[in-house]
Amino acid sequence: MTRVSFDVTKGEIVSVIGPNGAGKTTVLNMISGFYHPDSGRIVLEGRDVTDVAPSRIAELGVARTFQNIALFRGMTVLDNLMLGRHVHMKSGVLSSFVYWGLAQKEEVRHRKRVEDIIDFLKIQDLRRRPTGSLAYGLQKRVELGRALALDPKVLLLDEPMGGMNQEEKEDMARFILDVNEEWGTTIILIEHDMGVVMDISDRVAVLDMGQKIADGSPDEVRANPAVIKAYLGDTKGGAREARRG
Complete DSSP assignment for 71-113: --TTSBHHHHHHHTTGGG-TT-HHHHHT-GGGSHHHHHHHHHH
DSSP 132: G
Phi-psi region of 88 (alpha: psi -120 to 50; beta: other; left: phi over 0): alpha
What is the end-to-end Cα distance of the chain in Å, rounded? 15
Q: By C-alpha distance, which of 37, 41, 19, 16 is closest to 209?
A: 19
Cα angle value 71/202/186 (rounded, 5°): 45
* Pairwise pLDDT comparison (52 vs 19), residue with the higher score: 52
pLDDT value at residue 135: 92
Distance CA 230, CA 97 (A): 50
Confidence check: pLDDT of 188 > 90: yes
Tens digit of each residue's pLDDT (9 = 90 or more) over 88-106: 555 555 554 555 555 566 6
pLDDT value at residue 204: 95
pLDDT value at residue 238: 37
**Radius of gyration from C-alpha coordinates of the chain:** 19
Averaged over 201-226, what is the pLDDT?
92
pLDDT value at residue 102: 54
Distance CA 74, CA 93 (A): 17
Q: Which domain holds residue 160?
A: 1-61+152-245
Averaged over 134-158, what is the pLDDT?
94
Q: How many CB atoms lie within 10 A of CB 58?
A: 19
Confidence check: pLDDT of 10 > 60: yes
* Pairwise pLDDT comparison (100 vs 49), residue with the higher score: 49
Distance CA 164, CA 18 (A): 20
**Is 160 contained in some domain?**
yes
**Is 72 contained in some domain?**
no
- At 223, give phi and psi (nearest 5°): -95, 0
Greatest mean pLDDT range, 21-35, 113-127, 222-236: 113-127
Q: By C-alpha distance, which of 15, 5, 2, 8 is closest to 41?
A: 5
Averaged over 74-89, what is the pLDDT?
82
* Pairwise pLDDT comparison (23 vs 1), residue with the higher score: 23
Q: How many CB atoms lie within 10 A of CB 20?
A: 10
**Is 92 contained in some domain?**
no
- Kindly report the CATH number assigned to the domain that includes residue 213: 3.40.50.300
Amino acid (one-letter) located at 42: I
Confidence check: pLDDT of 173 > 90: yes
Confidence check: pLDDT of 131 > 90: yes
The per-residue pLDDT of the chain, averaged, comes to: 84
Confidence check: pLDDT of 44 > 60: yes
Q: How many CB atoms lie within 10 A of CB 72?
A: 13
Domain count, the chain: 1
Element of type H or E holding 17: strand 13-17
pTM across the whole model: 0.84
Distance CA 83, CA 150 (A): 9
Question: Quick one: how many helices (H) and strands (E) in the chain?
Answer: 10, 10
Distance CA 227, CA 88 (A): 41
**Is 99 contained in some domain?**
no
* Pairwise pLDDT comparison (101 vs 132), residue with the higher score: 132
Assign 237 a pLDDT band (cuts: 50, 70, 90): very low
Cβ-count burial 82-97 (b if 16+ within 10 Å, e if not): bbbbbbebeeeeebbe
pLDDT value at residue 111: 84
Percent of the chain with pLDDT over 90: 55
**Is 134 contained in some domain?**
no
Q: How many CB atoms lie within 10 A of CB 135?
A: 10
**Is 229 contained in some domain?**
yes
